[in-house]
Amino acid sequence: MTTSTVTPEIVAFAQGVRAALADLPAEEVDDLTEGLEADLAEAYAEDLQRELPDPAAYATELRAAAGLPVRTKPKSGVLSSLTQGWHDTRADLKVAIRRNPALASVVDFLGELRPAWWIVRAWLAAWLVASFFGNERGYGMAGTWWFVFVAFAVISVQWGRGRWHGPAVPALIAVGNVIAVVAFLPVMAAADDPRSSAGDFDRGFASGVDATVSDTPAEGLSFNGHLVENIYAYDAQGKPLKNVQLFDVNGKPLVTNRGGDASPLTPSAARLETGSDAYNVYPLKVTEMMWDENGNYVPDPSPDPRKTRALENGPFLKVPAVDVPKKVAKSNE
Amino acid sequence: MDATQLLKGVLDVAVLAVVEDEDGYGYDVVRRLRAAGLEEVGDASVYGTLRRLYTAGALTSYVVPSEEGPHRKYYGINAQGRAMLDLQRKVWTEFSTTMNNLLTSSTQPGEAA
C-alpha cells in the first residue's frame, strides 16, 4: 500500500463531501466516508493531472451507489417545503463554509464546543420545566429537579452524539435547539434575579390586580408643587359637602396622590352603585399610616385625634356663603 | 449505448469478484476494476457500492490505522458475499448468453422475424 500525502485540498474536499451528506445520520456519514482522504490521496498521487470533482456531485454518486436516499425532494405542503428549504440552505451553507478555510476552522472550533452546548440546553430545559412548577432556585432547581436535569442531560448528549435517532428526532432537536437559543437570555436574566423564586407568580398576580382595579396614576393632583392629599368641598351656603365626585373635562376621575409608602395617608375607596370602587369621592376617607418598629408600613394605632378630626371634617366647619345673583337663586328653588 | 449505464447494473458483482481473493480498501478496489478493463468506473460509485454490500452483509470491514496518514478501511468477502457472487455469476452468465445470442442473431440479415 502506498502512503500518500493528504493535501489541504483533499481535506477540504472530503469535508465538502461530508457536508453534502449531512442530512444522513452522523454514523452513516462516518461509515461512508471513512478512509476517503487516504483513498483520494492515493488516487491523486497516481495521477497528478486529475482535478478534484465537485464535492456535491461526488456525494450524490456515493449516495446513489450506496443505495441511500437522494437528498429528500420537497413534498407538497408549506411546512415540508419550508423544512426542505431549511435543509437545503443548511447543506449549501456547509459546503460553502468548507470552501473557505478560515470559516471552516472557526466552525470546527465551535464544533468542539458542542458537548458544552448539549449540557447547557439540558439545563435550560430542566430549568424551564422546574420554573413552570415554581421549583427553580436562581440558576439551580429545587432538590429532586436535579435528577430531571441529569435525565435531560443524558438524552441531550445521546441526541448530540447521533444516538437514539428515531424518525422524528432530528426535527425535535431542531425545534428544541431553537427554543433553547431563544430562551437562553431571558432564562439567564430571570435566574440571575435574586427576587426570582416561587413567589413570582403571586407577586405578578397581585401587581396585575392592582393595575386593573385601582387604575390610579402614581402622581395624582398637585397644587403649587405640593401633592394634594384630600379635597374639601363646600356648597353655596358655605356648608361642607360629603361624597362629592370630581372629574376632569375628559371624564377622568380626579384622584389625589396615593403615593404608597411615601404618603402618611392611605385613602379608602368609596363604593359606587355599580359595585366598583372609586377614589375620586371627596373628602376621601383616609387612614393615617406609620412605620412600626419592624419597618412595616401599618395603620397608625393611635393617630393624633385633632388631625383625624381635621381630616374628616375638613379645614373649616363652615365657609362664607357664595353671593348668588337673585335670578339664578330663584330658579334654583 | 453508454458503457457506464451498463456498469451500474453489474458493479456489485464486479466489486465482489475483485475482493474475492484478497481484501481491499476503497481505491485499491477501484484500481483493480480499472486494471480489469472497467476504465470508466467512478471512485464514488465503488466506495458507495462497497458500503452497500457491507450493509447488506456481503462484506466484512476493518480499519487499518496508518502511522503517517489517515487510516484505511478494508473490505473482505464473507460467506454470504460468496453466495451472492456465485448466484450473480450464474445470472450474468445466463443473461450474457441470452444477450449474445440475441444480438448475434439479429445481425444476421434475413433471420429477423
Q: Where are the domains of chain B?
A: 3-106
Whether A34 and B69 lie within 8 Å, measured CB to CB:
no
Cell match 372609586: residue?
A: A278
Nearest to B51 among A31, A42, A61 (CB): A31
pLDDT digits (tens, 9 = 90+) for A88-118: 787 778 777 877 778 888 888 888 888 888 8
The β-bridge partners of A298 are A290
Name the percent of chain B lying above pLDDT 90: 47
The residue ranges of every structural domain in chain A are: 8-112, 114-192, 215-313
pLDDT for B18 beyond 90 = yes
| pLDDT reported for residue A199 | 54
User: For chain B, what is the mean pLDDT?
Assistant: 86
Nearest CA in chain A to B44: A62
Pick from A196-200, A270-274, A311-315: least confident = A196-200
Q: Is the dihedral of CA A57, A61, A66, A69 positive or negative?
A: positive
pLDDT digits (tens, 9 = 90+) for A135-181: 777 777 777 888 888 998 898 888 887 777 666 666 777 787 888 88
Whether A39 and B72 lie within 8 Å, measured CB to CB:
yes
The CA distance from B99 to the nearest CA of chain A, in Å, is 25
The β-bridge partners of A289 are A299
User: For chain A, what is the mean pLDDT?
Assistant: 77
A-chain residues near B46 (CB < 8 A)? 65
pLDDT band for B79, please (50, 70, 90 cuts). very high
pLDDT digits (tens, 9 = 90+) for B92-111: 999 999 999 998 876 655 54
DSSP codes, A235-275:
-TTS-B-SSEE-B-TTS-B------GGG-SEEEEPEEPTTS
| pLDDT reported for residue A6 | 76
Nearest CA in chain A to B42: A61
| pLDDT reported for residue A297 | 76
Instruction: Using a CB–CB cutoff of 8 Å, tell me whether B72 touches chain A.
Output: yes
Higher per-residue pLDDT: A105 or B78? B78
B-chain residues near A11 (CB < 8 A)? none
pLDDT band for A48, please (50, 70, 90 cuts). low
| pLDDT reported for residue B83 | 93
B-chain residues near A15 (CB < 8 A)? none
| pLDDT reported for residue B13 | 92
The CA distance from B97 to the nearest CA of chain A, in Å, is 27
Q: By a Cβ cutoff of 8 Å, what residues of chain A touch chain B?
A: 1, 3-6, 31-32, 34-43, 58-59, 61-68
pLDDT digits (tens, 9 = 90+) for A285-304: 887 777 778 777 778 888 88
Nearest to A61 among B27, B28, B42 (CB): B42
CATH number of B3-106: 1.10.10.10
| pLDDT reported for residue B94 | 94
Whether A1 and B70 lie within 8 Å, measured CB to CB:
no
The CA distance from A1 to the nearest CA of chain B, in Å, is 9
pLDDT band for B91, please (50, 70, 90 cuts). very high
Instruction: Using a CB–CB cutoff of 8 Å, tell me whether B47 touches chain A.
Output: yes
Q: Which of A7, A16, A21, A10 is nearest to A98 (CA)?
A: A16
Instruction: Using a CB–CB cutoff of 8 Å, tell me whether B40 touches chain A.
Output: no
A298 secondary structure, DSSP code: E
Q: b/e for A212-242, b at 16 or more Cβ within 10 A? A: eeeebeeebbeeeeeeebbbbebeeeeebee
Nearest CA in chain B to A60: B44
Do A104 and A12 meet the contact criterion of CB atoms below 8 Å apart? yes
pLDDT digits (tens, 9 = 90+) for A208-260: 655 555 444 456 777 777 777 788 889 888 888 888 998 888 888 888 866 55
| pLDDT reported for residue A77 | 64
| pLDDT reported for residue A112 | 84
- Rounded CA-CA distance B47/B59 in Å is 13
